[in-house]
Amino acid sequence: MNQLKLRVVITGANGQLGYELCRHAPAWVELVALSSAELDITDEQAVSSELTRIDPTLIINSAAFTAVDKAETEVEKAYAVNRDGVAFLGHYAAGAGIPMLHVSTDYVFPGNASEPYTEDDVTGPTGVYGASKLAGERALLAVCPRSLIMRISWVFGSHGSNFVKTMLRVAEARSELGVVSDQQGCPTSAASVAIALWALADAYRQQGDLQWGVYHYSGKPACSWYDFAQEIFAQAGKVGLLSTLPAVNAITTDQYPTPAQRPAWSVLSSEKLHALYGVQPADWRTELTQVLEELRAQCTHKKPA
Ligand SMILES: NC(=O)c1ccc[n+]([C@@H]2O[C@H](COP(=O)([O-])OP(=O)(O)OC[C@H]3O[C@@H](n4cnc5c(N)ncnc54)[C@H](OP(=O)(O)O)[C@@H]3O)[C@@H](O)[C@H]2O)c1
């Protein structure tokens, strides 16, 4: 194929990942970024008419209902976005003869393993969010054979809500906090996911095809939320985002009950993506430095002259 330009629709363009996809879009992309206000993916008619009007050569879906605890009570909404909306996009893509890149989650797994999860491992979500995302994966693969699903984990960035920003906010209000130390996973910067997705889009542009199906991509090394918080505070102190660092206590999941049960083991193996497309996991500690520097720059810009 080797098309000079791909016209790429990004859905959910104002989320953490959507923002980074727009920011890192390569020069060979004609970008059509659609926020939830511009395209509600649960509106089947709007999906069909808007995409027909735009006539993209590739869809990247970063729209999702990501509120893990809220999903336990807003079950219908979680499935409407994470399963039905994904199916509507996939249905359009299949009919138009174009591929779709989609994003899913480590929370499709039960979390009782001790080795990194591969794409062949048996799923078994512990909550509604993970179950709705898994249903979306299945719905997409059923309607759109040329779809690629990238499962990612513990996403953070300078735009949107995430654990890094929560920790910084808490540290401004409190001198001591407890963070869960018995859940292991891989923090992953939204920017690194965007870059990995663009690498796949480029491979498609060059070759006219991809090895479709499910892939894992996450940052390295694996750690607990407690380790992640410690690193956030250490680095935030160094870059001058926090003047005093809070004391962090390791606590267990039982000591921090949440409406949705989280998997204890959320470590993904990115080996398949590396072997087939040469995409390397990014070191989340380096990515974190970048994000904290961006946040510091935002603070500086906000201060009156
Ligand atoms: N965040 C994580 O830690 C994490 C971990 C693993 C996997 N993932 C997956 O990674 C992907 C990107 O997540 P993210 O962190 O970027 O999430 P995010 O920041 O919550 O962004 C999701 C975006 O989707 C939009 N959206 C929600 N409902 C929509 C609808 N009906 N139609 C169109 N857009 C809609 C939201 O818009 P509004 O804000 O206007 O509703 C928001 O801009 C998702 O597939 C998510 O499941 C995330």
Cβ–ligand 1 distance for 42 under 6 Å, the answer yes
Distance CA 123, CA 72 (A): 19
- Predicted pLDDT at 305: 43
| Band of pLDDT at residue 65, cut at 50, 70 and 90 | very high
What is the reported pLDDT for 2? 60
166 token code pair: 């929560």
Contacting residues for 2 by C-beta, under 8 A, at least 6 apart: 205, 206, 208
Identify the band that residue 300 occupies on the pLDDT scale cut at 50, 70 and 90.
confident
Nearby residues of 264 by Cβ (< 8 Å), 6 or more positions away: 111, 112, 182, 183, 184, 253
| pTM of the predicted model over 0.75 | yes
160 C-beta closer than 6 A to ligand 1: yes
The alpha carbon of 61 and the centre of ligand 1 are apart by a number of angstroms equal to: 9
Distance 304 CA to ligand 1 centre (A): 32
Q: How far is the CA of 18 from the centre of ligand 1 (A)?
A: 8
Q: What is the pLDDT of residues 181-229, one digit of tens each?
A: 999 999 999 999 999 999 999 999 999 999 999 999 999 999 999 999 9
**Which residue among 50, 59, 66 is best mutated to probe the pocket of ligand 1, counting the most ligand atoms within 8 A of its Cβ?**
66
CB 40 near ligand 1, within 6 Å = yes
| pLDDT tens by residue, 236-295 | 999 999 989 999 999 999 888 899 988 899 999 999 999 999 999 999 999 999 999 999
Question: How far apart (Å, rounded) are the C-alpha atoms in residues 232 and 245?
Answer: 10
Record the tokens describing residue 197, joined without a space.
């997705």
Q: Which of 10, 14, 16 to mutate to test the pocket of ligand 1 (most atoms within 8 A of CB)?
A: 16
Q: Say yes or no: CB of residue 22 within 6 Å of ligand 1.
A: no
Query: Is there a contact between 227 and 179 (Cβ–Cβ < 8 Å)?
Result: no
pLDDT at 1 > cutoff 60: no
Q: Is 41 in the pocket of ligand 1 (CB under 6 A)?
A: yes
Each residue of 92-114: pLDDT tens digit?
Answer: 999 999 999 999 999 999 999 99
Which residues are known to be catalytic? 129
CA 172–ligand 1 middle distance (angstroms)? 26
Beta bridge partners of 251: 180
Ligand 1 centroid–CA 231 distance in Å is: 25
Can you give the chain as a three-state secondary structure string?
Answer: CCCCCEEEEEECCCCHHHHHHHHCCCCCEEEEEECCCCCCCCCHHHHHHHHHHHCCCEEEECCCCCCCCHHHCCHHHHHHHHHHHHHHHHHHHHHHCCCEEEEEEHHHCCCCCCCCECCCCCCCCCCHHHHHHHHHHHHHHHHCCCEEEEEECCEECCCCCCHHHHHHHHHHHCCEEEEECCCEECCEEHHHHHHHHHHHHHHHHHHCCCCCEEEECCCECCEEHHHHHHHHHHHHHHHCCCCCCCEEEEECHHHCCCCCCCCCECCECCHHHHHHHCCCCCEHHHHHHHHHHHHHHHHHHHCCC
13-53 residue pLDDT tens: 999 999 999 999 999 999 999 999 999 999 999 999 999 99
